[in-house]
Amino acid sequence: MAAQKKSVAKRKPVPRHTRKYQFRNDHPTDQHVEDILNFWKRGKQEITNLRKAVALYYALEQGNLHELFEFFPQYKAQFAPNTADALEEFMNILRRQQVVQPKQESQAIEQGGPKQLAAPSLPMPIFEDDDEPTVLIRTSTGTDSSMNFVSAMRGMQFTA
């Protein structure tokens, strides 16, 4: 008997495009990323995990934690505590504040109002700008931050 071949259903071709990335040699972060990508590639998960990673990163950048909880539901309790725990914590804060308040109110009522603290009177300050050098700053609207900084330092003039 001849071995029978299994018929494999052919998939419909999906239009695709390719992106190429360059990693720096001898750079620990780039090497780490490349190792992760190679690990995913061996398990045939590279593209799927890249899609998930980019979607998650973009969502977090936009302040959307829903994507994080969708991929990692175990972290939801850390970011969004349940109502009972939050209420209990709020009640503890209120209890700590109420311990201090009755003592202050009873003292104020016994003495007929708030007590003024004894403090020495201080004379008003005298401002004399003649002794200090005047700093003139010229602003720049350039977009290169390092050149902008250097230009700002050059633009400062000290006059007496």
Alpha helices, H only, the chain: 28-42, 46-61, 66-71, 76-79, 83-110, 145-155
Same domain, 71 and 92: no
Same domain, 36 and 63: yes
Q: Tell me what pLDDT residue 109 has.
A: 55
Same domain, 39 and 59: yes
Share of the chain above pLDDT 90, in %: 19
Predicted confidence (pLDDT) per residue in 14-29, tens digit: 898 888 889 899 999 9
Q: 133 and 155 in contact (C-beta within 8 Å)?
A: no
In a domain, 139, yes or no: no
Phi, psi angles (nearest 5°) of residue 136: -105, 130
In a domain, 36, yes or no: yes
Q: 107 and 114 in contact (C-beta within 8 Å)?
A: no
In a domain, 13, yes or no: no
Same domain, 48 and 64: yes
- End of a domain among 79, 102, 121? 79
Q: Tell me what pLDDT residue 99 has.
A: 54
Same domain, 37 and 70: yes
In a domain, 20, yes or no: no
Predicted confidence (pLDDT) per residue in 52-62, tens digit: 999 999 988 88
Same domain, 87 and 57: no
Looking at per-residue pLDDT, the higher value among 97 and 50 belongs to 50
Same domain, 91 and 66: no
- Residue-number span of the structural domain to which 93 is assigned: 80-110
Same domain, 64 and 85: no
Q: Tell me what pLDDT residue 84 has.
A: 75
In a domain, 49, yes or no: yes
- DSSP, res 26: T
- DSSP, res 73: G
Structure tokens that stand for 85 in this block = 């725990």
In a domain, 11, yes or no: no
In terms of phi and psi (left: phi > 0; alpha: psi -120 to 50; beta: otherwise), the region of 117 is beta
How many structural domains compose the chain?
Answer: 2
pTM: 0.43
Phi, psi angles (nearest 5°) of residue 97: -75, -35
In a domain, 138, yes or no: no
